Amino acid sequence: MKRHNGRVDLYWVADEKLVAKGYLPKTVRLFGEWPSPEIASRCAILHAEMIEWASGREPARNAAPEGTLAWVCRAFETDPDSPFHEKRQDTRTFYSKYIRHLVDKAGDEYLSQIVGRDVRRWHKEWVAELGERSAYACIQTLRRAVNYGCELRDSDAIELAAVLEKTEFRMPKARKRRPTYEQIVALRQAAHEAGRASIALAVTLQFELGLRQKDVIGEWYRPSEDERARIAGAITDGAWVWHWGLIWSHIDAAMLLRKPTSKSNGNEVAEHDLRVHPDIVAELPPRGVGPILIDERSGKPWKRTHFSHTFRKIARAAGWPDEVWNMDSRAGAVSEAFEAGAEPADVMRTATHTQMSTTMIYNRGGVVQSSRVAELRAARRRGRKEG
């Protein structure tokens, strides 16, 4: 916006259609000279936040014809008593994303007319359009929505739920990729070269301690107006509130870390003695207050989308293949522990899992571990011969 005195003020402006639906902020003043990487980065973050809000926005009411697939999906999203509202924001956004695919595919179909072969056909089309994992997510979201219809005692939903229970779909293959310690070291170096020491620390914490990304960098969420009015002392950015991230009070003077985990809604606590993790100690900044992981450019905790984009640029510079994700760092921690011969129960506790079956999903060190088993068996055979 050019002023009368010749000065040019810069603003980012939200999509007017989303603003009409309730998105805030409408505009954001930008400071600095244009063009510049900093302003471009800030605009990219603001745009990503707006799109994320749009993807997870809950419809205000259920206007779909009763008895249709769209109706039961919208009921699941909008009814105040739906279990949808008990989930974390990330989970609600996930459900809403795949509900849109359900409604786009067959929202006008009545539940009474849907049979198993219809769902199988949709699944095949979703595999072609979205990929195997997203197609399976559509099926699981369909089951959740129809199950809520059962709670409403809708007879057609009850019948369709029985059909879906008998209709099986192949689960996507479990991920097998995970970073090695050498790749972590390379990424730390690349992060420092890029001026992103916070990313070097974040990945080190995930790999060394088996923490989830959300438990390290935290999460920004947009509470309702009533919820926002009750929140005091939180870190905020406009209408957004930050929580779940690692803060300095989680680490005591003796360098013991105790971090309630987001996955358990705080019921499980990750406990680690950082004195036995020299790589973490080397990356930790001087002790302060509040969040430990700060976006160097914004001066605030990282936004998930911006962190992911920045991480991928640094990972590529460090030689990581695109098939290895940041979330795989947790699997790297578990796998390396098993490869080192750690007791399974200790690995499970480190990962804050409550079931060994979950821990084994993260164990991706098959060759090293099977080779160690082979060596132990060979040693036993030699011992029997010598005896």
Domains along the sequence of the chain with CATH: 10-17+24-53 (no CATH), 69-166 (1.10.150), 181-328 (1.10.443.10)
**Percent of the chain at pLDDT above 90?**
47
Q: Which residues contact 64 (CB under 8 A, 6 or more apart)?
A: 70, 71, 73, 74, 107
Instruction: Report the relative pairing of strands 235-237 and 240-243 from DSSP bridges.
Output: antiparallel
Residue 35's CB is within 10 A of a number of other CB atoms, namely 8
pLDDT the model gives residue 60: 53
Report which DSSP code applies to 28: E
Separation CA 76–CA 183 (nearest Å): 43
Separation CA 301–CA 216 (nearest Å): 10
Report which DSSP code applies to 67: T
pTM of the model: 0.67
Separation CA 61–CA 75 (nearest Å): 8
- Name the β-bridge partners of 167: none
Separation CA 248–CA 290 (nearest Å): 6
Separation CA 274–CA 280 (nearest Å): 7
pLDDT higher for 61 or 308? 308
pLDDT the model gives residue 51: 78
What is the chain's alpha carbon radius of gyration, rounded to the nearest angstrom? Answer: 25
pLDDT at 370 > cutoff 70: no
Separation CA 11–CA 20 (nearest Å): 19
